[in-house]
C-alpha cells in the first residue's frame, strides 16, 4: 500500500494556543513518518501520524497513511476508521476505496445491506461522488455561467443573440437547480448522519444504554454503523442490515 504526502488543514485556534507544538513543520513530520513506514517501522510511523491527527491537522493523505500503518500492524478496526476519514475528505479517491475493500475483506462481520432500488442507489452514489467542497465549486461555476447568460440576454440588442442566451440560460438554470439539490443533499448527509467504526476487537451490543441490560448481538472490529443517538457514554447504533442496539462510546470511532 503506497504512501502519500500532502498539505494539511489546521485548526486555527489550536495553532494560536500552541504555536510551538512542533519544532518541525507538518510536512516534515509526515515525511519522517513515511520514512519510518518504508523501513517497516509501522508502530513508529503510527505514532507520528497519530500525533499530527490529534493536534488538529487533517488531510486525506494523513488519514490514508495512518490507515495503512494500522493495517500493517493488524489493527483492522483502526485501519478502516482512518480510511473512512480519508474517504470523507476525498470521496472519489480510488486508492482509498480499494484499501477499504481490502480491509473490509479481513473483518469478521459480513453485514448485508438492506436492498435498495436502483434509483436510490444511483442517487446516493451521485451525492457522495464529491465532497461538499466539490459540489460547492461546481455550483459556483454554474451560477457564474447563469449570470453570464442573464447579462447577455439583458444587454444584447440582437434578437438572435437573445434567443441563444435565453435557451442556453434556461438549460444552465435547470442545471443550477439540480446541482443545488445535490449540494443540499450532500450537506444534509454530513450534518444529519454520523457514522462510526468499531475499534475494539469485539463488543456486545446491548438492547439499552446500560451494561446490565440484555445482549442484542455481537460485532467485531471494523464494523461500520450509523450513530442514531448518544445517551451519556453510549451510542445507539444501526447496522446496514437494520439491527439496532447500544454500545459504549469508547469502543467506537466517529467518522
* pLDDT tens profile 50-98: 999 999 888 999 999 999 999 999 999 999 999 999 998 888 899 999 9
Which of these ranges, 4-8, 29-33, 225-229, has the smallest mean pLDDT?
Answer: 4-8
- Cα 135 from Cα 193, distance rounded (Å): 18
The DSSP line for 118-141 is: HHHHHHHHHHTTS-HHHHHHHHHH
CA atoms within 13 A on the CB side of 1: 27
CATH of domain 194-254: 2.30.30.40
CATH class of 9-104: mainly alpha
Retrieve residue 34's grid coordinates: 513515511
Domain limits, the chain: 9-104, 118-192, 194-254
Asked whether the beta carbons of 53 and 4 are under 8 A apart, the reply is no
Give pLDDT tens digits for 197-213: 999 999 999 999 999 99
Average pLDDT taken over every residue of the chain: 89
Instruction: Give yes or no on whether 9-104 and 194-254 have one common fold.
Output: no
Predicted confidence at residue 17, as pLDDT, reads 39
Global pTM? 0.72
- Cα 90 from Cα 83, distance rounded (Å): 10
Amino acid at each position: 500500500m503506497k504512501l502519500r504526502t500532502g498539505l494539511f488543514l489546521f485548526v486555527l485556534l489550536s495553532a494560536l494556543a500552541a504555536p510551538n507544538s512542533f519544532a518541525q513543520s507538518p510536512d516534515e513530520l509526515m515525511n519522517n513518518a513515511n520514512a519510518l513506514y518504508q523501513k517497516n517501522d509501522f508502530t513508529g510511523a503510527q505514532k507520528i501520524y497519530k500525533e499530527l491527527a490529534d493536534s488538529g491537522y487533517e488531510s486525506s493523505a494523513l488519514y490514508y497513511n495512518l490507515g495503512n500503518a494500522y493495517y500493517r500492524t493488524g489493527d483492522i478496526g483502526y485501519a478502516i476508521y482512518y480510511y473512512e476519514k480519508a474517504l470523507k475528505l476525498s470521496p472519489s479517491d480510488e486508492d482509498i476505496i480499494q484499501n477499504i475493500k481490502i480491509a473490509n475483506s479481513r473483518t469478521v462481520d459480513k453485514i448485508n445491506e438492506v436492498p435498495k432500488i436502483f434509483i436510490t442507489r444511483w442517487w446516493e452514489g451521485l451525492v457522495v461522488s464529491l465532497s461538499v467542497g466539490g459540489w460547492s465549486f461546481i455550483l459556483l461555476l454554474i451560477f457564474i455561467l447563469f449570470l453570464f447568460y442573464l447579462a447577455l440576454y439583458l444587454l444584447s440588442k440582437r434578437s438572435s443573440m437573445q434567443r441563444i442566451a435565453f435557451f442556453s440560460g434556461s438549460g444552465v438554470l435547470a442545471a443550477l437547480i439540480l446541482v443545488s439539490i445535490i449540494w443540499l443533499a450532500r450537506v444534509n448527509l454530513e450534518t444529519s448522519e454520523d457514522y462510526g467504526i468499531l475499534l475494539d476487537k469485539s463488543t456486545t451490543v446491548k438492547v439499552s444504554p446500560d451494561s446490565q441490560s440484555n445482549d442484542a448481538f455481537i460485532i467485531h472490529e471494523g464494523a461500520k454503523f450509523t450513530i442514531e443517538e448518544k445517551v451519556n457514554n453510549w451510542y445507539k447504533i444501526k447496522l446496514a442490515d437494520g439491527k439496532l442496539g447500544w454500545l459504549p462510546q469508547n469502543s467506537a470511532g466517529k467518522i
